[in-house]
């Protein structure tokens, strides 16, 4: 049985479970000993080290680049510039969003921190030294920093590399039925609207991005060790970008120190490392420093939204509409299903039964780094959930309604599933009212409201500067991209392969395309096989992260591992079980139909003594046992899982904060999170995933932001300026669960990796604004922002504070 | 310049540049890659190891400053196959996910338990407040340290019985 | 990872040796104590000293002791030492309050009191705390020692009166009975530099009248990290909430904060006042023995 201490959560089971349960993670044996093998731990013979010279300007024309002094440095082996790359046709590379991106700048620099030159030296210190020896002359240009002015007639044109371009407009995209939505709004008794910014933030994994490229001049094989969440996608992109044959490219993703979407894309440094290796004939390692990570690699969010919500005057929600100005930076480089320029943002009707909804999204270029979809956002469902959950609270604020009651009366009911939303999504399952009720009950919602009233009285009597806030959010996630007919990356359908081989002694190896970055795949995927086949997880090796060793698949992001690769794992195990049945039938000399499966063995119906265990079956499958003519020997299988639909986990969150109105300081006192992610394979690991996401909510709502001054200087370019939550800001999380299995997933599981990151920011924001009774203020609610919000002069959080 | 540093009980004499950071001395010069680096500004704490008896951020200490001193890293915690109680606690209580901040957390936790065998939740949170974890939301790290304390108390009682 | 440029390294064994090394290597040499301000700046290559003189082995610079009626802090006392010092707890809780919010525990294990003061970052906490308690810096050079009140120690952001071939050796704080002190800081997150902070030291006579007051301000552009006019206002008036509110108002009026990502000017000015008032209240409670 799972041991749960009420006050201290899950503890690993003493014995390894034969399937699901809170087992200790297999990967921890190396991590707790300091024996993980991360990118920068890898040393190849003769390896060189690289560093990147970056633009100090947000927008400038490059007049000249003089590399002679750097090349004269005794330990420098190569200096690569945009000109070098242009000669190889590699100065620009395609993005994942139908655009191109500069690898090393040739004509202009378009954001501060953009890659200008790549220095390869014999050691990492010399590479850094040589950066100062590269002389670049810039002619600075006015920068486009405020997205709200990117489309002004007099705005400087950032992408003049594109012939005939006269503005900074990237795309217009819409979803939902505009006319039907307008109708609903016209009929509504009450409408609330609100402008809100989900500011630019960064995944900031503890390990930065990096790559070691090694081109074997004899075999022509390129090996790239790299921090990637999607090894197979990277291999295909390298093949397409560099024109190298795909079978001559091996991508190896070693242990990854956190990804959160930051390690999905291909960055200029990776491409330069490949070129560096080709030029020098030696392996080349490039690793980012923290500033480079924050300034240049995939940012997240940056959505300027104007939302409206319509309701009847007795509190029935009717519809939502939103216009979005999406700041995509200097190159359109979001990583998302390619047919969806706003990702999965159009699940913004949320968890409510709405008659109509519509969104119109406009993407613009600005002089900032490219990216946009990252940081555990489920392809922009963070923005969608923030929008709807803020709008519900704004409506409640405007009408004087209780936000819990407003949600409760409008949540989808369990009998409505499967439910097709006004925006076309088919939600698979859920029991939303029960999930919300569980959270409110755990939080003691009524008691909290009573306490809040008392605190406010003391405040109003002038006895205390303190106020208390209670914030709710109810989210529906949409994860497990995706059905290949609707979702692809660069034309690659989002289906995942799996290969399972049972060795003669009954041990097994499972090969997968997804890539753990701390989620515990080595453990949980072994548990899925164990549950299906009765082989201990200790006896199952899970292989990931090496394209020469694993089947094709699109990788780990968007919480898709369990929904897609997890399903593939269950399906491939069932294929093996089907084969095992035939082998067992031959062993026991009965018809396969006479066998009954009992975890780990087939038994003859009516004769329980006659049985074959998986161990015996595995050995027999490799032996001289006579098998039916159409049955191959051995015991293995492959499969490709194409998900029929996304999975739709949900959750109800309650956050309690104390706000010091005289200083603006916020203390998160409690956080109750009830998640429903269907069947839980390893409850301890699921709980850990939720914890991490809840901390993201504290970070996002209270401190994380990348703002820019009018010159385009990045004001969050180190961990002194880009603040991440510590143990002191996080409360002791209070977790609960409801379980509604996904009806279409083979084991009823739903993805959970990003649920809490998606669901928690509005809960924290709603709590702070509930405390100070302010209708809206943008994240992050730093002490200054809260103090200003109380005084009715809120800060614009994406720009420098003036 | 030539320095001698005793790392995990072994003396190492190496010729290094004065500017070599201690974290690079450990990782690149000695090949002890359990100590990681994560920022440039001594904010993240993934590089924490002990200088003599004290946890320090090794990205902000020069190797030459450790000349004549002792350094202890995560590689020194386990004895053969036997994990240190802090390692066992982190494993039992899921105190790590990607594992990148873990060595630093373990070294701080080890020092904390040496000084305070029964730390409160608040004490643990304060002790690790200069070390960022992006995966766990800290909850299970706190539980892991408490579990480690429990393991040590049980071991002590058994030793006395 | 960012790395420093090349430099020469010397290790001083005594204060005299350190001064000798500073003299020998000239103005492009720098002392390194804990290194937690200097080394990050060297990695960013904002600081590129030609020679680094390590004073971590100089035993005479360590320690926290009572010398007659003065609390003496060695320049190489680590932040963690001051935080744990029973003498500081007894005589100047303001220093303990401030230390508790300086950086983080691991940084405090290495960073030093003297290093922080000499770095002279306008957001650094000890400058204001020492200004509040009228501390005196003791500086040694080839010609011997000189004493400089902390309120005359800073000549600008990142600049102090310590000469090229001089070294800060200790900070002396006069201990006077009947006092209480406290430090109040607002930060965006634990471990961050101050948005604003205020330190107060207060001496009350038996009737509760303020006999002397010291107010230090961090990160709000206060002259010499102090609020002189507010201090003057308090002397001779009863130590009441109203008086502390008025002192806060005066302190806010006199500071000159600049806007940055920690906050706009109006907010920082407000904080200067609010935190001054709060620090005074707590200092008074401590002076009266009502609060630890």
Task: For B133-154, give the DSSP string.
Answer: -SSSTTHHHHHHHHHHHHHHHH
Of B132, B136, B146, which has the smallest distance from its Cβ to A691's Cβ? B136
**A36 in contact with chain B, both atoms CB, cutoff 8 A:** yes
Chain B residue with Cα closest to A722:
B43
Please give the CATH number for the structural domain made up of C8-54. Answer: 3.30.43.10
How many whole angstroms from its chain centre is CA B57?
10
Our measurement of the distance from residue A532's CA atom to the centroid of its chain's CA atoms, rounded to an integer in Å, reads: 28
How many other C-beta atoms lie within 10 A of the C-beta of residue A773? 11
**Chain C residue with minimum CA distance to A788:** C267
**Mind listing the pLDDT tens digit for each residue in C107-135?**
999 999 999 999 999 999 999 999 999 99
Fold of A40-141+208-256+263-296: Aldehyde Oxidoreductase; domain 3 (3.90.1170)
The confidence score (pLDDT) of residue C59 equals 97
Q: Which of A276, A37, A310, A1 is nearest to A181 (CA)?
A: A310
- The rounded mean pLDDT for chain A is 96
Put simply, the answer to whether B102 touches A32 (Cβ < 8 Å) is: yes
Alpha-carbon distances of B8 from A147, A151, B32, B61, rounded to whole Å: 53, 60, 10, 17
How far the first Cα of chain C sits from its last, in Å, is: 44
* pLDDT bucket at A13, cuts 50 / 70 / 90: confident
Question: Domain boundaries in chain A?
Answer: 40-141+208-256+263-296, 303-481+645-801, 495-641
Chain B residues within 8 A of C110 when measuring between CB atoms: 51, 54, 56-57, 60-61
Q: Work out the minimum CA distance from A258 to partner chain B, whole angstroms.
A: 5
pLDDT level of residue A8 (50, 70, 90 thresholds): low
pLDDT at residue A2 greater than cutoff 80: no
* Confidence bin at A241 (pLDDT 50/70/90): confident
CB-CB neighbors (< 8 A) of B23 in chain C: 1
In chain C, CATH 3.30.43.10 sits at 8-54
Residue C247 predicted with pLDDT over 70: yes
Do residues C106 and B57 touch, judged by C-beta distance below 8 A? yes
Q: What is the pLDDT of residues B24-83, one digit of tens each?
A: 999 999 999 999 999 999 999 999 999 999 999 999 999 999 999 999 999 999 999 999
Q: Which residue of B has its CA nearest to A724?
A: B132
Going by C-alpha positions, the residue among C260, C238, C234 that lies closest to residue C246 is C234
Q: Is A128's CB within 8 Å of C3's CB?
A: yes
Torsion sign across C-alpha atoms A233, A237, A240, A245: negative
Contact between A701 and A786 (Cβ < 8 Å): no
Q: Give residue B49's pLDDT.
A: 98
The number of residues in chain B equals 161
Contacts of A734 (CB under 8 A, 6+ apart): A442, A443, A670, A671, A672, A673
pLDDT classification of A12: cutoffs 50, 70, 90:
confident
Contact A142, A130 (CB under 8 A): no
Residue A1 has pLDDT above 60, yes or no: no
Q: Per the CB < 8 Å rule, is B92 touching A31?
A: no
Q: 43-62 in B: which are within 8 Å (CB) of C? A: 43, 45, 48, 51, 54-57, 59-62
Please count the other Cβ atoms lying within 10 Å of the Cβ belonging to residue A626.
7
Q: What's the 3-state SS for A683-706?
A: HHHHHHHHHHHHHHHHHHHHCCCC
- How much is the average pLDDT of A481-491? 91
CB contact under 8 A, A289 and C195: no
Q: A679-698, pLDDT tens digit by residue?
A: 999 999 999 999 999 999 99
Quick: pLDDT tens for B125-137. Answer: 999 999 999 999 9
Q: What is chain C's length? A: 292
Nearest-Cα distance to chain B for A185, in Å, is 41
Contact C40 B17 (CB under 8 A): no
* CB proximity A290 to B under 8 Å: yes
Q: Does A725 touch chain C (CB under 8 A)?
A: yes
Put simply, the answer to whether A31 touches B99 (Cβ < 8 Å) is: yes
**Percentage of chain A exceeding pLDDT 90:** 95
Overall average pLDDT of the B97-104 stretch? 98
Give the C-alpha separation, B98 to A753, whole Å: 13
Taking residues A600-619, what's their average pLDDT?
96
- pLDDT recorded at residue A544: 98
**pLDDT value at position A3?**
40
Superfamily of domain B85-160, CATH level 4:
[2Fe-2S]-binding domain (1.10.150.120)
| Chain C contact for B154 (CB, 8 A cutoff) | no
- Answer whether B85 touches C (CB < 8 Å): no
Which CATH class for the C179-287 domain?
A: alpha beta
Report chain A residues whose CB lies below 8 A from the CB of C258. Answer: none
pLDDT band at residue C40, thresholds of 50, 70 and 90? Answer: very high
- Tell me the per-residue pLDDT of A442-473, one tens digit each, with 9 for 90 and over: 999 999 999 999 999 999 999 999 999 999 99
DSSP state of A352: B
The yes-or-no verdict on residue A740 having pLDDT over 90 is yes
Interface test with B, best of A22, A27, A31 (most B CBs within 10 A): A31
Fold match flag (A40-141+208-256+263-296 vs A495-641)? no
User: Is residue A10 predicted with pLDDT exceeding 80?
Assistant: no
Residue A315 has pLDDT above 50, yes or no: yes
- On whether the B2-76 domain is CATH 3.30.420.40, my answer is no
Q: A707 and C261: CB-CB below 8 Å?
A: yes
Chain A CB contacts of C264 under 8 Å are: 784, 788, 795, 801-802
Distance of CA B33 to CAs A660, B29, B37, B111, C256, Å?
44, 10, 10, 20, 48
Interchain CB distance below 8 Å, B137 and A695: yes
pLDDT score of C34: 97
Distance from CA of A281 to the nearest CA of B (A): 22
Question: What Å distances lie between residue A502 and A461, A510, A575, A576, A641, CA to CA?
Answer: 73, 9, 12, 8, 20
* pLDDT in the model for residue A9: 67
Q: Do C259 and A665 touch (CB under 8 A)?
A: no
Selection from B116, B91, B119, B121 nearest residue B106 by Cα: B91
CA proximity to A262, closest of A214, A299, A233, A313: A299
Least reliable range by pLDDT among A61-70, A370-379, A465-474, A544-553: A370-379
Q: Does domain C59-174 have CATH number 3.40.50.720?
A: no
Measured between beta carbons, the chain A residues lying within 8 angstroms of C42 are none
Chains that touch B (3 or more CB pairs under 8 A): A, C
Q: Partners of C148 in the beta sheet? A: C137
Please check whether residue B4 touches C, CB under 8 A: no
% pLDDT > 70, chain A: 99
Are A50 and A117 a contacting pair, CB within 8 Å?
no
Q: Which residue has the tokens 């990356």?
A: A489
**3-state secondary structure at position B110:** helix
Q: Is B30 on the interface with C (CB under 8 A)?
A: no
CB A19 within 8 A of CB A25: no
What residue has token string 């994240």?
A: A779
- Listed by number, the residues of chain A in 369-428 with a beta carbon closer than 8 Å to a beta carbon of chain B are none
For the residues A81-99, what does the mean pLDDT come to?
A: 95
Is the confidence metric ipTM above 0.90 for this complex?
yes
Q: Which two tokens stand for residue A234?
A: 């990277």
Is pLDDT above 80 for A6? Answer: no
Predicted confidence band at A4 (pLDDT cuts at 50, 70, 90)? very low
Partners of A214 in the beta sheet?
A: A223
- A597 or A802, higher pLDDT: A597
Q: What's the rounded mean pLDDT across residues C78-85? A: 98
Verify whether the Cβ–Cβ distance C193 to A703 is below 8 Å. no
Residues belonging to chain C with any Cβ–Cβ distance to chain B shorter than 8 Å: 1-9, 11, 32, 35-36, 39-40, 42-44, 52, 54, 56, 103-107, 109-110, 190-191
State whether residue A801 sits within 8 Å of chain C by CB: yes
Q: Å from A213 to nearest chain B CA?
A: 19
Three-class SS state of C48: coil
- Nearest-CA residue of chain B relative to A688? B136
DSSP A19-76: SSS-PPPTTHHHHTTT---BGGG---TT-EEEEEEE-SSSSEEEEEEE-HHHHHSTTE
Q: Do A40 and B39 touch (CB under 8 A)?
A: no
CA-based radius of gyration for chain A = 27
Q: Which residues pair with C202 in a beta bridge?
A: C180, C213
Q: Which of A24, A258, A728 sits opposite B91 (nearest CB)?
A: A24
**Dihedral sign computed on CA atoms, order A275, A277, A283, A288:** negative
Query: Topology of domain A303-481+645-801, per CATH?
Result: Aldehyde Oxidoreductase; domain 4 (3.30.365)
Kindly tell me if the per-residue pLDDT of A7 is higher than 70.
no
Topology classification of domain A495-641:
Aldehyde Oxidoreductase; domain 4 (3.30.365)
pLDDT reading at A357 higher than 60: yes
> pLDDT tens digit string along C190-224?
999 999 999 999 999 999 999 999 999 999 999 99
Residues 6+ apart with CB under 8 A from A499: A510, A511, A550, A551, A572, A636, A637, A638
């Amino acid at each position: 049985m799972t041991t749960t201490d009420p006050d201290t959560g899950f503890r690993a089971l003493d014995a390894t479970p034969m399937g699901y349960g809170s087992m200790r993670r297999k990967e921890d044996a190396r991590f707790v000993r300091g024996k993980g093998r991360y990118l920068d731990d890898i040393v190849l013979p003769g390896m060189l080290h690289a560093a990147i010279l970056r633009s100090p300007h947000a927008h400038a024309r490059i007049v000249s680049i003089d590399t002679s002094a750097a090349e004269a440095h005794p330990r420098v082996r190569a200096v690569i510039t945009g000109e070098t790359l242009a000669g190889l046709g590699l100065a620009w590379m395609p993005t994942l969003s139908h655009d191109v991106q500069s690898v090393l700048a040739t004509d202009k620099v378009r954001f501060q921190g953009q890659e200008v030159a790549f220095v390869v030296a014999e050691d990492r210190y010399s590479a850094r030294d040589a950066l100062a020896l590269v002389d670049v002359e810039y002619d600075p240009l006015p920068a486009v920093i405020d997205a709200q002015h990117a489309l002004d007639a007099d705005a400087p044109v950032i992408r003049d590399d594109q012939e005939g371009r006269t503005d900074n407009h990237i795309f217009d995209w819409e979803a939902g039925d505009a006319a039907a939505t307008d109708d609903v709004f016209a009929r509504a008794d009450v409408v609330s609207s609100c402008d809100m910014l989900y500011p630019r933030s960064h995944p900031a994994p503890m390990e930065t991005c990096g790559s070691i490229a090694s081109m074997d001049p004899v075999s022509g094989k390129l090996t790239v060790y790299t921090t990637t969440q999607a090894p197979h996608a990277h291999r295909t992109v390298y093949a397409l970008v560099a024109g190298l044959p795909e079978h001559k490219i091996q991508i190896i993703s070693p242990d990854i120190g956190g990804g959160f979407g930051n390690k999905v894309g291909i960055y200029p440094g990776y491409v330069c490392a490949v070129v560096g290796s080709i030029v020098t004939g030696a392996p080349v390692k490039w690793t980012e420093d923290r500033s480079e990570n924050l300034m240049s690699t995939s940012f997240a969010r940056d959505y300027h939204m104007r939302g409206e919500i319509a309701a009847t005057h007795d509190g029935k929600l009717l519809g939502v509409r939103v216009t979005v100005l999406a700041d995509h930076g200097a190159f359109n480089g979001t990583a998302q299903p390619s047919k969806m320029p706003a990702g999965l943002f159009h699940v913004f009707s949320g968890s409510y039964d709405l008659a109509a909804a519509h969104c119109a999204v406009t993407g613009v270029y600005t002089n900032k780094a490219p990216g946009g979809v990252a940081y555990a956002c489920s392809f922009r469902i963070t923005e969608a959930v923030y929008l709807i959950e803020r709008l519900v609270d704004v409506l409640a604020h405007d009408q004087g309604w209780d936000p819990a009651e407003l949600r409760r009366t409008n949540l989808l009911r369990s009998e409505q599933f499967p439910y097709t939303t006004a925006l076309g999504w088919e939600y698979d399952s859920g029991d939303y009212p029960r999930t919300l009720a569980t959270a409110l009950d755990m939080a003691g919602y009524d008691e909290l409201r009573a306490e809040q009233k008392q605190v406010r009285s003391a405040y109003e009597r002038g006895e205390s500067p303190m106020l208390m806030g209670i914030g709710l959010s109810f989210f529906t996630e949409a994860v497990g991209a995706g059905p290949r007919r609707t979702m692809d990356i660069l034309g690659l359908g989002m289906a995942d392969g799996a290969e399972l081989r049972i060795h003669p002694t009954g041990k097994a190896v499972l090969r997968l395309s997804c890539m753990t970055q701390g989620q515990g795949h080595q453990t949980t995927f072994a548990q899925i096989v164990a549950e299906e086949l009765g082989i201990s997880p200790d006896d199952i090796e899970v292989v990931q992260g090496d394209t020469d060793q694993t089947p094709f698949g699109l990788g780990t992001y968007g919480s898709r591992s369990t929904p897609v690769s997890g399903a593939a794992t269950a399906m491939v195990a069932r294929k093996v079980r089907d084969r095992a049945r035939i082998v067992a039938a031959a062993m026991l000399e009965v018809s396969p139909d006479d066998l009954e499966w009992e975890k780990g063995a087939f038994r003859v119906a009516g004769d329980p003594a006659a049985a074959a265990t998986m161990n015996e079956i595995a050995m027999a499958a490799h032996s001289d046992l006579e098998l039916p003519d159409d049955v191959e020997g051995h015991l293995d299988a492959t499969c490709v899982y194409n998900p029929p639909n996304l999975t739709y986990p949900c959750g109800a969150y309650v956050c309690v904060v104390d706000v010091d109105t005289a200083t603006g300081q916020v203390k998160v006192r409690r956080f109750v999170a009830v998640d429903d992610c269907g069947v839980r394979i390893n409850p301890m690991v699921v709980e850990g995933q939720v914890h991490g996401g809840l901390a993201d909510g504290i970070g996002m709502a209270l401190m994380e932001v990348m703002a820019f001054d009018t010159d385009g200087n990045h004001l969050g370019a180190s961990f002194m300026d880009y603040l991440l939550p510590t143990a002191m800001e996080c409360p002791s999380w209070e977790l609960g669960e409801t379980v509604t299995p996904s009806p279409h997933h083979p084991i009823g599981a739903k993805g959970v990796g990003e649920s809490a990151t998606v669901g928690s920011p509005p809960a924290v924001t709603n709590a702070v604004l509930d405390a100070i009774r302010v209708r809206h203020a943008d994240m992050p609610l730093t002490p200054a922002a809260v103090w200003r919000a109380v005084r009715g002069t809120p800060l614009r959080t994406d720009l420098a504070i003036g | 310049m030539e320095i001698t540093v005793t790392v995990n009980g072994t003396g190492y004499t190496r010729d290094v540049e004065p500017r070599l950071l201690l974290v690079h001395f450990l990782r690149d010069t000695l090949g002890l890659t359990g100590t990681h680096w994560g920022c440039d500004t001594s904010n993240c704490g993934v590089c924490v190891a002990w200088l003599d008896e004290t946890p320090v951020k090794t990205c902000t200490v020069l190797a030459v400053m450790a000349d004549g001193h002792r350094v202890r890293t995560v590689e020194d915690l386990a004895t053969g196959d036997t994990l240190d109680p802090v390692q066992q606690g982190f494993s039992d209580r899921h105190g790590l996910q990607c594992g990148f901040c873990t060595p630093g957390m373990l070294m701080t936790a080890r020092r904390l338990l040496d000084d305070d065998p029964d730390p409160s939740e608040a004490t643990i949170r304060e002790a690790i407040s200069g070390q960022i974890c992006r995966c766990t939301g800290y909850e299970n790290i706190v539980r892991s340290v408490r579990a480690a304390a429990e393991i040590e108390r049980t071991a002590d009682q058994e030793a006395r019985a | 990872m960012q790395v420093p440029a090349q430099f020469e390294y010397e290790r001083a064994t005594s204060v005299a040796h350190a001064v000798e090394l500073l003299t020998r290597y000239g103005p492009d040499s720098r002392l390194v104590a804990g290194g937690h301000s200097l080394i990050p700046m060297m990695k960013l290559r904002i600081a590129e000293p030609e020679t680094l003189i390590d004073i971590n082995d100089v035993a005479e610079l360590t320690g926290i002791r009572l010398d007659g009626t003065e609390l003496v802090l060695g320049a190489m006392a680590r932040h963690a030492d001051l935080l744990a010092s029973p003498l500081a707890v007894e005589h100047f809780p303001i220093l303990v309050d401030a230390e508790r919010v300086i950086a983080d525990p691991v940084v405090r294990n290495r960073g030093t009191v003297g290093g922080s003061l000499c770095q002279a970052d306008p957001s650094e906490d000890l400058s204001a705390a020492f200004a509040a308690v009228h501390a005196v810096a003791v500086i040694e050079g080839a010609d011997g020692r000189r004493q400089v009140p902390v309120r005359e120690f800073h000549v600008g952001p990142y600049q102090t009166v310590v000469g090229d071939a001089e070294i800060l050796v200790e900070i002396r704080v006069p201990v006077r009975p009947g006092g209480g002190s406290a430090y109040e800081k607002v930060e965006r997150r634990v471990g961050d530099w101050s948005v604003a902070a205020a330190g107060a030291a207060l001496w009350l006579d038996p009737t509760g009248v303020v006999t002397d007051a010291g107010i230090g301000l961090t990160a709000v552009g206060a002259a010499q990290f102090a609020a002189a006019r507010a201090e003057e206002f308090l002397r001779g008036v009863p130590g009441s909430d109203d008086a502390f509110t008025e002192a806060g108002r005066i302190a806010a009026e006199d500071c000159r904060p600049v806007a940055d990502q920690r906050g706009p000017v109006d907010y920082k000015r407000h904080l200067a006042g609010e935190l001054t008032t709060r620090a005074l209240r707590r200092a008074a409670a401590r002076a009266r023995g009502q609060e630890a």
